[in-house]
Amino acid sequence: MVTYKQDMPPEGGFNPYEWAARKPKRLFGGYTQFALFAGFTSIAWIFYFRWRNTKKLNELEMRESRVAIEPFLLAERDRAILKHYRKNRDEENELMKNVEGWKTGTLWGEPVFYNPRNRYVKPALEELLAHMSYREQEDFKYDKRKRF
Amino acid sequence: MPYTNEDYLPSYEELTVPELEISSAAFRTAAHHLGKYCDNTCKEFILCRTEENDPRKCLNEGKEVTRCAYEFLGKIKKSCYAEFTQYMDCIDHSGLSMEFKNCRKTQAVFDACVKENLGQDRPELGYFTKVRLHKTERPKAVPDPHILPERLPEPPKFENKTTDPMKGPRWF
């Protein structure tokens, strides 16, 4: 005797099985998509070029401000470096006064540079730093730092 | 040092003038007006520096430049101190590189003050970076003559000594 009930398909059978790939429905057609792309890009270009122009003008203004103050900084720096040359020369005179045959600015009488036209010579960095302490050298070479 | 005791180096008295003891923010704030106010002096100094290529010969021009800036900043301090300070505060807190673009309002106030008291407009954009001609009384810098060592004697003439290769020994 059968005591259970057999499950059977619903009345009228199962729904049809979807086996084909379903394509998503397109929001816009091809022409609309091209038009949207062109429009969006044009507007973006307008904004980009306007931004770039503003940026260039701002940079020009900054550059101009640097150009404008250059002579003032240069004049001050020239005086400072010439003072430093003089200080170093005095220091060398003082240091080597007891050494016989030593001539300041030369190596036992031989000049450092071959300079027949009497042009301005820039000393090497080591010569500028020669009579300084290590800390002063650091301050001279780099921006003077705050020490704690 | 490559400078001997005979070489010319200016003394401390010549080199000591009242320097501009102002911060970079003040320089940035004043830059355009300052550059325009001292335009001719700056051109003269830079011309000297580029022509001579020697800071020792351009000391007077350099002092003139610093004096001009001193004069301008003094005038600003006398007449536009509050406006200048307000603009400088803005510039000082305007980004890492002290940009002008965040400070247009205070800049307008400062410009109006300078226009009123010094009668000077802010130079138009591109004024300092374009090529500007400068008329000067300054004589052209002539470097010292380059004295070369004496010329070596001419080499002997070899035309008379060479033999015609076609007339040489031919038995090789």
pLDDT per position as a tens digit, B81-115 = 999 999 999 999 999 999 999 999 999 999 999 99
Instruction: Convert the pLDDT of each residue in B2-40 to its tens digit.
Output: 899 999 999 999 999 999 999 999 999 999 999 999 999
* pTM of the model as a whole: 0.81
- Pick from A64, A93, A111: which is nearest to B32 by CB? A64
- Choose the closest CB to A123 out of B1, B46, B54: B1
How do residues A80-117 score in pLDDT, each as one tens digit?
999 999 999 999 999 999 999 899 989 998 998 988 88
Q: Could B9 and A85 be called an inter-chain contact, meaning their C-beta atoms sit closer than 8 Å?
A: yes
**What amino acid occupies position A96?**
M
Which of B51, B47, B77, B76 shows the shortest CA–CA distance to B64?
A: B47
- With CA atoms as reference, the chain A residue closest to B43 would be A71
- Distance between CA atoms of residues A123 and A139, nearest Å: 18
Q: Indicate yes or no: CB of A119 within 8 angstroms of CB of B55.
A: no
> Which residues of chain A are within 8 Å of residue B97 when distances are taken between CB atoms?
62
How long a stretch of residues is chain B?
172
CA separation for the pair B162, B169 (Å, rounded): 14
- The interface predicted TM-score (ipTM) is 0.85
Spell out the long-range contacts of B53-58 with Cβ–Cβ below 8 A and sequence spacing 24 or more.
Answer: B53/A119, B53/A120, B54/A119, B54/A120, B55/A78, B55/A81, B55/A82, B55/A120, B56/A82, B56/A120, B56/B8, B56/B9, B56/B10, B58/A78
**A104 to B1: CB separation less than 8 angstroms, yes or no:** yes
